[in-house]
Every structure is written in structure tokens, then in C-alpha cells.
Amino acid sequence: MKIAVSANGPDLKSIVGESFENSPYLLIIETDDMSIDSYKNNDPQHGTDDLKMAENIINADCEVLITGTIERPAFEMVALAGVTRFCGKGYRVQEAIRLMDEYNLDFITDENGADPETREERHKHDRGTCEGNTCEGNTCDTCDGNTCS
């Protein structure tokens, strides 16, 4: 299986990045033999290589992305391609892969979904109001008890 990991370096001892867009490297790892193809992010300060990095993930036919937070454009590209996303920020790449195999990494369900504070902040500001919307049947505390999307 091929997986992608955004990281601060080009090898398995590197740390998974805090954010997809600002990670200096994208690693494509073949888990059968742990071989790595690494791609350098040409603009980690501004995060403008995110769509190119997402395209590399899709072109490599990766099944999984391990990262930190991920902004909407790149999130939508990999999600629409059927790539499963996990939050592994702060772990060494090799440790994050092990934790993923053990089902011990959180699934990223939406852009910036790896960071609960960011997700709540985006929730409040993207939609303005949640009246009349549903959130898989759950009640949202952010919206004063209304259900939200």
C-alpha cells in the first residue's frame, strides 16, 4: 500500500508536519518495503505548493495521507480522490505509520479537521448560522443547541 506523509524532512525519522501546506516535504511511502519517494515543497512558508502536493498523492495512487491540518483546496482534492486522511502531526513518520496500522490516529473528516480549535472556529464563521441544518443528527454546542452541518 502507498501512503503519503507531510513531514519536516525526507525520511522515516522526520516529524509529521503541523500543516499539510507548510510541510517542507511530502513523502510517498510503499509500506510493503518502506521505500520512499520524497518531494520538496518549494514554498513551505506560504503554502502555495499544496495543490501540487495533493496532485502527487493522487498520481502516486496513495490510499492514505498522514498530516496535520489541511486547508480546503488540498483537502477536497484528496478527499474526492478517495484518499483516507489521518492526523499524525508531531509524531515521527515511522511512529505515525505504526499508530495508523494500530487504528490509533484520528481520522481527518474535514479541512483543518486535525485541529479541533480550528474546526470549531471555521464552523462558526463559514456558515454564519446553523439554524435548520443537520450534523449527522448531533447537536452543536457552538450554535446554542441547534443542529448544524
Give tens-digit pLDDT for 97-147.
999 999 999 999 988 764 445 444 444 433 344 444 444 444 444 444 444
Tell which wins on pLDDT, 31 or 148: 31
**16 Cβ neighbours under 8 A, 6+ residues apart:** 5, 6, 7, 23, 66, 67, 68, 88, 89, 90, 91, 92, 93, 96
Classify 64 as helix, strand or coil. strand
Q: Where along the chain do its domains lie?
A: 2-114
pLDDT of residue 47: 60
Q: For residue 76, is pLDDT > 90?
A: yes
The answer to whether 122 and 103 have CB atoms below 8 angstroms apart is no
For the question of whether the overall pTM of this predicted structure is more than 0.85, the answer is no
Mean pLDDT of 1-12: 96
Give the pLDDT confidence of 11-58 residue by residue, as tens digits: 999 999 999 999 999 999 999 999 999 999 887 776 678 899 999 999
Mean pLDDT of 53-64: 96
pLDDT of residue 113: 63
Distances (CA, A) of 11 to 39, 93, 116, 118, 126: 11, 8, 28, 29, 37
CATH class belonging to 2-114: alpha beta
Q: For residue 75, is pLDDT > 80?
A: yes
